[in-house]
Amino acid sequence: MTNIEVNFANCARNMFLPHKNDSGTFYISDSTLAHANEFGNVIKISDTELSQKIVKHFIHNNQDVHELNKFSYHESARLVISGKQKRIMIILGMLLACIGVFQIDLLVYSIYLLVSAVLFADIIFKSVIFIKSLNAPQESPHIFAINDENCPVYTIMIPIYKESNMLKHINQSLDNLEYPKDKLDILILLEENDKKTIEAAEKYLSIPHRKIIMPEVGPKTKPKAMLIALEFARGEYLTIYDAEDIPDSDQLYKAIMKFSQDETGKLACVQARLNMTNYKDSWISMFFSLEYNIWFNHYLKGLYLYNLPLPLGGTSNHFKMDILRKVSGWDPYNVTEDADLGIRLYKNGYITSVIDSETKETAPTRLDSWLGQRSRWIKGYYQTFLVHNRNIKYSITHFGLKNFIGFNFFISIQVLAFTSLFPMFLLTLAYYGFGLNFASPYLAYANVATNFIIQLFFAFYTYFTKGYKARWQMCFFYPLYFICHSFASYKALKELVTKPFYWFKTPH
DSSP characters over 311-325: PPPSSSEEEEHHHHH
Closest CA to 361 of 295, 287, 273: 273
pLDDT of 432 = 62
Closest CA to 451 of 403, 404, 418: 418
- The CA distance from 471 to 286, in Å, is 10
Say what the pTM is.
Answer: 0.91
- The CA distance from 384 to 378, in Å, is 10
- The CA distance from 185 to 233, in Å, is 7
pLDDT of 402 = 87
The answer to whether 444 touches 116, Cβ cutoff 8 Å, is: yes
**Which spans in 59-133 are helix H?**
62-68, 83-102, 104-133
pLDDT of 142 = 64
- The CA distance from 356 to 271, in Å, is 9
Residues 6+ apart with CB under 8 A from 262: 351
The answer to whether 210 touches 31, Cβ cutoff 8 Å, is: yes
- The CA distance from 262 to 226, in Å, is 26
The answer to whether 136 touches 313, Cβ cutoff 8 Å, is: no
Dihedral over Cα of 101, 104, 108, 109: its sign: negative
Return residue ranges of the chain for CATH 3.90.550.10. Answer: 59-508
Closest CA to 35 of 61, 58, 13, 9: 13
Rg (CA), the chain: 24
Number of other CB atoms surrounding residue 471 within 10 Å: 10
Amino acid symbol at 388: H
Amino acid symbol at 71: F
Burial class (CB in 10 A: 0-12, 13-18, 19+), 456: middle
Phi-psi category of residue 401: left, alpha or beta, with phi > 0 → left and psi -120 to 50 → alpha: alpha
Q: Distances from the Cα of 311 to the Cαs of 60, 330, 407, 430, in angstroms?
A: 32, 13, 9, 37
Burial class (CB in 10 A: 0-12, 13-18, 19+), 43: middle
- What number does CATH give the domain 59-508? 3.90.550.10
- The CA distance from 471 to 64, in Å, is 52
* Helical axes 104-133 vs 442-465, angle rounded to 10°: 20
The answer to whether 186 touches 51, Cβ cutoff 8 Å, is: no
Residues 6+ apart with CB under 8 A from 130: 294, 298, 299, 302, 458
433 pairs with which residues across the strands?
Answer: none
The CA-CA-CA angle for residues 136, 482, 421, to 5°, reads 120
pLDDT of 127 = 95
Closest CA to 294 of 315, 313, 278: 313
- The CA distance from 80 to 24, in Å, is 46
The answer to whether 51 touches 232, Cβ cutoff 8 Å, is: yes
First to last CA, the chain: 43
- DSSP letter for 139, please: P
- The CA distance from 261 to 259, in Å, is 5
pLDDT by position in tens, the chain (length 508):
556 678 888 888 888 888 776 667 888 887 777 667 777 788 888 888 889 889 988 888 777 787 777 777 778 999 999 889 999 999 988 988 888 788 777 777 777 788 888 888 889 999 999 999 998 887 766 666 677 888 999 999 999 999 999 999 999 999 999 999 999 999 999 999 999 999 999 999 888 899 999 998 889 999 999 999 999 999 999 999 999 999 999 999 999 999 999 989 999 999 999 999 898 999 999 999 999 999 999 999 999 999 988 999 889 999 999 999 999 999 999 999 999 999 999 999 999 999 999 999 999 999 999 999 999 999 999 999 999 999 888 889 888 888 888 888 888 888 888 888 777 777 766 666 665 565 566 777 787 788 889 999 999 999 998 888 778 888 899 988 988 999 999 999 999 999 999 998 877 6
Amino acid symbol at 462: T
